[in-house]
Amino acid sequence: MSKIAIIGGGIIGVATAYELAKLGEEVILFEKNYFGSGSTFRCATGIRAQFTDEANIRLMKYSVERWEKLEEELGFDISFRQTGYLFLATSEEEVEAFKANIRLQNRFGVPARLIGMDEAKEIVPILNTEPFLAGAWNPEDGKANPFKTLFAYLFRARELGVDAREHTEVIGFEREGDAITAVRFRSNGKVGSVRVDAVLNAANAWAPLINEMAGLSRDLIPITAYKHQLVKTEPLEPGQAEPLVCPPSWNDAYIIQDGEDGGIICGAGIEHKAKGLDDYEPTYDFLRGVLEYAVRIAPPLRYAHVVRQWAGFYAKTPDSNPAIGRLLDNFYIAAGFSGHGFMMAPAVGEAMAGLISKGRSKVPLDWEWYDPYRFERGELRSSAFQIG
Ligand code: FAD
């Protein structure tokens, strides 16, 4: 049994801790704030296999299969619902692109299909069909509650012996050659140190700082924190916009009805580079901009009150694909999820646990595609389609 330290108590760190504990490893999980306080509790809840490249489609097909069984496995309600994703085309060229994406998705078993606007209206009663020509629809995509999911993983991880510490910040490492031998941390004003056999950097937007602590360049994995915001309306009658609905050509704007309280969550690609890693200030230009898109997608939203607006980080890499793999002898990374980390967590957590514990995993994760050293080699992947 090895002792493995995980830095970052978001969904990726917590899911990996659980999977490692299932494999019989001893795990210590560090979170500098409270669990979920990074991007995870700020996310839009969306889960989809409708990507536009083989690596992300295969990974997400597997992840959705894990999501389908997660409530039963963890023994908690996580409000996972397969309410679909509906992408909407505004031009003939986009319809052709949707058709090509659907062919690729179908090749890997994702049951997406092109639908007309009558069917789209049946699925989303408040939809304004007039601007759109067709929809790419996958009924197996869906959503889940990030709070319940993280706490379900955390509960089971602790039950399996994971030492999960909140308000405990990792501040450095001790190294012998290429290997990290100990993690130094600060908690309640006191500094401590623990010997470890391996370390996973699951700090997402903060990951470059952790890499630097390990003696690597901060720019090796160029992750930039972009402020991504959401607005939520008062509750609407259930069933009005259950799928995530998105016309990508409208600045990736989207709406999705919260599966529990019925409020409509509205997002868009109106992004700002964060002023710092504590810059969670919502902005007025986003509020105005996102509501203009939301009302064009679903006109009845004109009459809905906005009850909340919040911001979090899309921890973005240059190709919007995460960095997943080994960085040094016993130092690993799974970070830079660029807006997809929640949906990918069941698959990535299992894959990382397999890699760290056994050197392999049965998860269909294309290690070469997500290779963390690709940026240094200047080998960018095709940009992952990036919305919640
Ligand atoms: P995080 O949740 O950010 O966790 C990293 C943790 O590391 C943080 O809690 C931080 O405090 C901790 N940490 C940092 N430094 C240290 C240190 N030195 N010591 C200890 N701990 C440290 N994804 C989807 O899949 N679907 C969506 O619909 C979706 N919508 C989104 C909407 C918004 C508005 C935002 C902001 C994001 C959205 N995302 C979505 C992205 C998703 O939230 C993230 O990709 C995911 O939560 C990343 O999880 P993580 O565990 O990698 O990172």
Q: Which positions ≥6 away from 161 have C-beta within 8 Å?
A: 21, 26, 27
The number of distinct structural domains making up the chain is: 2
Instruction: Tell me what pLDDT residue 381 has.
Output: 87
Residues whose beta carbon lies within 6 Å of some atom of ligand 1: 7-13, 30-33, 37-40, 42-46, 169-170, 202-206, 228, 230, 312-314, 335, 337, 339-343, 388
Looking from the CA of residue 341, the nearest atom of ligand 1 is: 45
Q: Which positions ≥6 away from 212 have C-beta within 8 Å?
A: 218
Judge whether 65 lies within some domain.
no
Using CA positions, which residue lies closest to atom 41 of ligand 1?
339
CA 357 to chain centroid, in Å, comes to 23
Write out pLDDT tens, residues 55-100. 999 999 999 999 999 999 999 999 999 999 999 999 999 999 999 9
Using CA positions, which residue lies closest to atom 37 of ligand 1?
43
Mean pLDDT of the region 300-325: 97
CA distance 348 to 357: 14
Instruction: Tell me what pLDDT residue 1 has.
Output: 78
ipTM of the complex: 0.99
DSSP three-state, residue 55:
helix
Could you tell me if 101 and 169 lie in one domain? no
Could you tell me if 231 and 204 lie in one domain? no
Q: Please state, rounded to an integer, the average pLDDT across all residues of the chain.
A: 96
Output the CA 311–ligand 1 centroid distance in Å. 12
Structure-block tokens of residue 178: 């290429």
Pairing of strands 26-30, 3-7: parallel
Q: Which positions ≥6 away from 128 have C-beta within 8 Å?
A: 296, 297, 298, 299
Judge whether 161 lies within some domain.
yes
Q: CB 378: neighbour CB atoms within 10 A?
A: 7
Looking from the CA of residue 337, the nearest atom of ligand 1 is: 45
Q: How many CA atoms lie within 13 A of 267 on its CB side?
A: 29
CATH number at residue 282: 3.30.9.10
Could you tell me if 232 and 210 lie in one domain? no
Write out pLDDT tens, residues 125-178. 999 999 999 999 999 999 999 999 999 999 999 999 999 999 999 999 999 988
Q: Which of 12, 63, 204, 385 to mutate to test the pocket of ligand 1 (most atoms within 8 A of CB)?
A: 204
Could you tell me if 271 and 196 lie in one domain? no
Q: Of 207, 221, 180, which Cα lies nearest the Cα of 330?
A: 180
CA 20 to chain centroid, in Å, comes to 20
Output the CA 175–ligand 1 centroid distance in Å. 27
Judge whether 69 lies within some domain.
no
Could you tell me if 218 and 230 lie in one domain? no
Instruction: Tell me what pLDDT residue 272 has.
Output: 86
**DSSP code, position 383:** P
Q: Which of 316, 347, 363 is the endpoint of a domain? A: 316
Looking from the CA of residue 40, the nearest atom of ligand 1 is: 47
DSSP three-state, residue 156:
helix
**DSSP code, position 249:** T
Q: Which positions ≥6 away from 195 have C-beta within 8 Å?
A: 3, 181, 182
Full residue range of the structural domain in which residue 131 is found? 85-139+224-316
Whether the pLDDT of residue 106 is over 80: the answer is: yes
Could you tell me if 364 and 253 lie in one domain? no
CATH number at residue 185: 3.50.50.60
Q: Please give the share of the chain, as a percent, with pLDDT higher than 90.
A: 95
Judge whether 7 lies within some domain.
yes
Output the CA 281–ligand 1 centroid distance in Å. 16
Instruction: Tell me what pLDDT residue 385 has.
Output: 63
Judge whether 387 lies within some domain.
no
Q: Which of 14, 35, 37, 40 to mutate to test the pocket of ligand 1 (most atoms within 8 A of CB)?
A: 40
Write out pLDDT tens, residues 277-288. 999 999 999 999
Q: Which of 42, 43, 193 to mutate to test the pocket of ligand 1 (most atoms within 8 A of CB)?
A: 43
Instruction: Tell me what pLDDT residue 273 has.
Output: 86
Using CA positions, which residue lies closest to atom 18 of ligand 1?
170
Bridge partners for 325 per DSSP = 333
Could you tell me if 282 and 297 lie in one domain? yes
382: confidence class by pLDDT, cuts 50, 70, 90: confident
Write out pLDDT tens, residues 346-363. 999 999 999 999 999 999
- The CA-based dihedral angle spanning residues 147, 201, 7, 330, taken in that order and rounded to the nearest 10 degrees: 140
